[in-house]
Amino acid sequence: MTELPPDPGRLRAILAYLDERVAENETVGIYLRLQQSAVREALARTQEQRSARPQPRGQRRSSAPAATDSTKGAAGFTVERQKRAVGPEPARIHTADCTSGGAKHPIGAQEARAALTDPMVQACPFCRPDAALGMDLD
């Protein structure tokens, strides 16, 4: 890093800016991990549907990779991205049957539990996924 300014005011401004960037990157990382999990789950569902279809005679089934542990039991919770005009975008976790909120992506219990430990992620106050997971964040 280049030379820092000597006065406390500018140093505080630089520190505040860096703190915001770190928080944004953490939020993006959480969101990307949740999206990654949703894609893995969709892939596993697609592979299950494909393997359930009867294959025409003479064709071999492709050897698709098996579903990983992160895709097992993934239909119980969803994540909703909370849009804000300024600053990092927090997420909200719901149970799968919750009708509150906007567009949601399915996640597993393990991903929901991990996400709820992050301060930028909230539990839905209506469906209370934290209580369903035995976390009770209140």
Q: Report the alpha-carbon distance of residue 34 to residue 95 in Å, rounded.
A: 15
Domain-located, residue 138: no
Return the residue matching tokens 């698709």: 64
Distance of CA 89 to the CA centre of its chain: 12
Parent domain of 33: 8-52+71-132
Q: Report the alpha-carbon distance of residue 109 to residue 132 in Å, rounded.
A: 9
Q: How far is CA 131 from CA 106, 116, 118, 123, in A?
A: 18, 11, 16, 9
Strand pairing of 91-95 and 121-123?
Answer: parallel
Lowest mean per-residue pLDDT among 2-11, 73-82, 94-103, 121-130? 73-82
pLDDT tens digits, 60-106: 544 444 434 443 444 589 998 877 777 667 889 999 999 888 888 89
Domain-located, residue 61: no
DSSP summary character for residue 67: P
Domain-located, residue 119: yes
Q: Which of 80, 117, 72 is nearest to 96 (CA)?
A: 80
Domain-located, residue 125: yes
Domain-located, residue 65: no
Domain-located, residue 115: yes
Domain-located, residue 3: no
> What mean pLDDT value characterizes the chain?
78
Count of domains for the chain = 1
pLDDT band at 55 (very low <50, low <70, confident <90, very high): low
Q: Which helix (H) or strand (E) holds 27?
A: helix 8-52
Please give the single-letter amino acid code of residue 84: R
pLDDT value at 27 more than 70: yes
